[in-house]
């Protein structure tokens, strides 16, 4: 690897962040996990570029990223439907592509979904902080400059050269469809769920909620029928990924990757991690429903998902495609 | 002495242990040290099955790897940890850390108002703040933000009606019966009474924080010159 190999950021797009799988084991000093909001799309992008499930990639919110390659390597873009071109030639998403020195890679703006993932063979070479490259702007930690800043025009993101590899794509049956801007989130009941009345829970699980504008990597604020617990507040306690927090106004907030590690609002339970990506792909106005599952079902779903991912064979792509 | 405990599901790979009566939600030093002891035991007994722990006032969130274990096995490990007797000398558990503070109207813009509302002099507020030994009950809100309690009720004060856009790094602050040192410049609604020159969060240091949950903290007044000499900024 030479120090000059990598990608120049020509345009940063709306909001593009370096993310690896996340920063774990640091809650004791108040650090959140960060990492890709849509873990599913992230790991497919990495899988297309090699056997690398957790390598540092770019999370592109909505689009607009333009890069110039100074390296010969393999790339892939998955997630939201964002037009991708290499040297002004349109290229498929969910598929690996060879790029060479001097190539210009342009991403347009999402027509469905909201987060895309740009991975490269071997991952981007990022100096980790607290063992992770994940960018958490709120904590001013991680990313290319280790200070939590999003990518900016003029940045240079290093990565290794890589030998040309056969083009592969994710089978259609494994590609999610974000076009309806609606989804169902599975929920494991927990935390203070007993402080919510039976009627409140029925209302929650039988109603539609809308994604509001106040939704970001910390959490998605929803709007719909208000639900009430018998608690005004609780002593601050640890918050896990996907926790559904219900403040006094009764409007639920689903806490995501950049959530605070502790908080004092009552919580109903947590959204299954496999569904967090589907939520994160929704745009403001997106519609969602909740469905309760048991902890055993959640556990089985996680194991099945892992097995399904491992068993999936990527399709080989002919050169003319 | 053991408090009541209750283990609840938090999420697909997390259990939360509540210490004490969940309805009354008492903050106590004995509960804090029980939580710290339980956390230490689980770190050892769960090993790589453990992803992380979040200790707070009266609870411990246990996040595990669902591909290596399940909630039944983790519950069993928690029960074993809870059954083990802990050191009963609570007052001596955790490390004792002393933090220097430059208390003044210049470094603590809310000192005068807080003193007036409490019917005390500024000197009395400063003296009372230094008299107590505080326990680190939780770390969160921002990297390195340690919630210290419990504050002497004579100098307790509600959060500001309008939070400040910018609180400087090192600001020593009071909210209700808690006190804290802001680890970085940030917005904040706590009452500011002084500045601490020690870094509460330094990513390049090992450890990156001078305290952890369960430790004890004392504050020690320093003058302006000492504060500046220790690298403090005004």
Mean residue pLDDT of chain B comes to: 93
Considering only CB atoms, A27 lies closest to which of B8, B54, B142, namely B54
Nearest to A141 among B12, B147, B203 (CB): B203
Contact in structure between B203 and A130 (CB atoms under 8 Å): yes
> Shortest CA distance to B144 belongs to which of A32, A58, A98?
A32
* Length reported for chain A: 321
* Mean pLDDT value across residues B78-87: 86
Looking at the complex, does the CB of residue B55 fall below 8 Å from at least one CB of chain A?
A: yes
Q: What pLDDT does residue A167 have?
A: 93
> Is the predicted pLDDT of residue B1 greater than 50, yes or no?
no
Has domain B96-229 been given CATH number 2.40.100.10? yes
Is the Cβ of B231 closer than 8 Å to some Cβ of chain A? no
CA–CA gap between residue A291 and residue A293 (Å, rounded): 7
Q: Is the pLDDT assigned to residue B89 strictly greater than 70?
A: no
Q: Taking the model in full, what pTM does it have? A: 0.93
Contact of A190 with chain B, judged by CB distance below 8 Å, is answered with: yes
Task: Note the pLDDT of residue A165.
Answer: 84
Q: Does A269 touch chain B (CB under 8 A)?
A: yes
Q: Which two tokens stand for residue B79?
A: 């029960």
Tokens of B219: 């504050």
Distance from CA of A258 to the nearest CA of B (A): 11
pLDDT at B214 over 60: yes
Strand order in the sheet with A156-158: A89-91, A84-86, A104-107, A65-69, A6-12, A156-158
The residue among A142, A238, A309 with the most chain B CBs within 10 A of its CB, best to mutate, is A238
What is the arithmetic mean of pLDDT over B188-193? Answer: 95
pLDDT, residue B94, reads 85
| Residue in A27, A30, A196, A267 to test binding to B, most B beta-carbons within 10 Å | A30
**Inter-chain CB proximity B139 and A295 less than 8 Å:** no
What CATH architecture does domain B5-92 belong to? 2-Layer Sandwich (3.30)
Answer whether residue B2 shows pLDDT above 80.
no
Architecture of the domain made up of A182-308: Beta Barrel (2.40)
Quick check: B103 and B130 in contact, CB under 8 A? no
- The verdict on a CB contact (< 8 Å) between B56 and A242 is no
The pLDDT of residue A1 is: 45
Query: Counting beta carbons within 10 angstroms of the beta carbon of residue B234, is it exposed (0 to 12), middle (13 to 18) or buried (19 or more)?
Result: exposed
Question: CA nearest A186 in B: which residue?
Answer: B12
Q: Does A272 touch chain B (CB under 8 A)?
A: yes
Residue ranges per structural domain of chain B:
5-92, 96-229
The answer to whether A239 contacts chain B (CB < 8 Å) is yes
Q: Considering only alpha carbons, which residue of chain B is nearest residue A298? A: B12
Mean pLDDT per block of 10 residues along chain A (321 residues) reads 82 98 97 97 96 94 98 97 98 97 98 97 97 96 97 98 91 94 97 96 98 96 95 89 94 97 94 98 97 98 97 85 50
Q: Residue B122 has what pLDDT?
A: 97
Q: CA of A189 to nearest chain B CA: how many angstroms apart?
A: 7
- Chain A CB within 8 Å of residue B69 CB: no
**Can you read off the two tokens belonging to residue A167?**
């083009």
- B10·A238 Cβ contact <8 A: yes
| A143 Rama sector, left if φ>0, alpha if ψ -120 to 50, beta otherwise | left
Say which residues have a Cβ less than 8 Å from residue A77's Cβ, sequence separation at least 6.
Answer: A45, A60, A84, A93, A94, A107, A116, A117, A118, A119
Output the six-digit token pair for B19.
């210490």
Average pLDDT value for residue range B92-104: 93
Domain ranges of chain A: 6-178, 182-308
CA–CA gap between residue B164 and residue B161 (Å, rounded): 10
Q: Judge: A189–B12 Cβ closer than 8 Å, yes or no.
A: no
Give me the pLDDT at residue A151, please.
Answer: 98
């Amino acid at each position: 690897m030479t120090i000059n190999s990598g990608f120049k950021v020509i345009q940063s797009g709306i909001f593009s962040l370096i993310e690896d799988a996340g920063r774990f084991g640091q809650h004791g000093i108040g650090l959140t996990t960060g990492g890709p909001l849509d873990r599913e799309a992230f790991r497919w992008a990495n899988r297309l570029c090699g056997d690398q499930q957790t390598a540092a990639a770019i999370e592109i919110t909505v689009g607009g990223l333009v890069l110039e390659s100074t390296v010969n390597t393999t790339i892939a873009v998955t997630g939201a439907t964002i037009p991708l071109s290499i040297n002004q030639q349109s290229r498929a998403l969910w598929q690996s592509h060879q790029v060479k020195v001097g190539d210009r890679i342009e991403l347009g703006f999402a027509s469905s979904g909201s987060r895309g993932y740009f991975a490269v063979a071997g991952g981007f070479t990022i100096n980790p902080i607290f063992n992770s490259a994940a960018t958490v702007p709120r904590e001013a930690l991680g990313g290319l400059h280790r200070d939590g800043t999003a990518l900016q025009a003029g940045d240079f993101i290093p990565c290794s050269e890589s030998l040309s590899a056969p083009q592969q794509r994710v089978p259609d049956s494994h590609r999610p469809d974000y076009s309806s801007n609606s989804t169902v989130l599975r929920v494991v009941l927990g935390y203070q769920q007993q402080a919510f009345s039976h009627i409140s829970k029925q209302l929650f699980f039988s109603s539609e909620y809308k994604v509001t504008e106040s939704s970001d990597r910390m959490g998605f604020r929803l709007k719909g029928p208000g639900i009430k617990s018998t608690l005004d507040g609780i002593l601050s306690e640890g918050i896990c990924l996907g926790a559904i927090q219900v403040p006094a106004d009764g409007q639920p907030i689903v806490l995501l990757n950049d959530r605070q590690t502790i908080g004092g609002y009552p919580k109903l339970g947590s959204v299954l991690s496999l569904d967090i990506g589907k939520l994160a792909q929704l745009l403001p106005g997106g519609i969602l429903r909740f469905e309760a599952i048991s902890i055993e079902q959640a556990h089985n779903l996680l194991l099945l998902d892992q097995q399904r991912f491992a068993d999936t064979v990527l399709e080989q792509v002919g050169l003319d495609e | 002495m053991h408090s009541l405990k209750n283990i609840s599901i938090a999420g697909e790979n997390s259990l939360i242990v509540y210490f004490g009566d969940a309805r009354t939600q008492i903050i106590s030093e004995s509960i804090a040290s029980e939580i710290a002891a339980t956390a230490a035991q689980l770190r050892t007994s769960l090993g790589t099955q453990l992803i992380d722990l979040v200790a707070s006032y009266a609870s411990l969130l246990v996040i595990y790897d669902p591909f290596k274990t399940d909630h039944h096995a983790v519950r069993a490990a928690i029960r074993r940890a809870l059954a083990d007797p802990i050191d009963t000398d609570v007052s001596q558990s955790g490390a004792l850390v002393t933090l220097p503070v430059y208390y003044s109207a210049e470094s603590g813009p809310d000192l005068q108002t807080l003193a007036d509302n409490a019917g005390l002099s500024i000197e009395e507020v400063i003296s009372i703040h230094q008299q107590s030994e505080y326990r680190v009950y939780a770390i969160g809100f921002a990297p390195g933000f340690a919630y210290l309690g419990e504050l002497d009720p004579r100098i307790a004060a509600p959060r500001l009606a309008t939070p400040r856009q910018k609180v400087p790094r090192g600001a020593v602050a009071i909210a209700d019966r808690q006190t804290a040192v802001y680890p970085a410049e940030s917005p904040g609604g706590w009452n500011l009474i002084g500045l601490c020159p020690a870094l509460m969060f330094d990513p390049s240091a090992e450890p990156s924080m001078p305290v952890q949950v369960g430790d004890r903290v004392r504050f020690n007044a320093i003058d302006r010159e000492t504060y500046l000499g220790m690298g403090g900024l005004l």
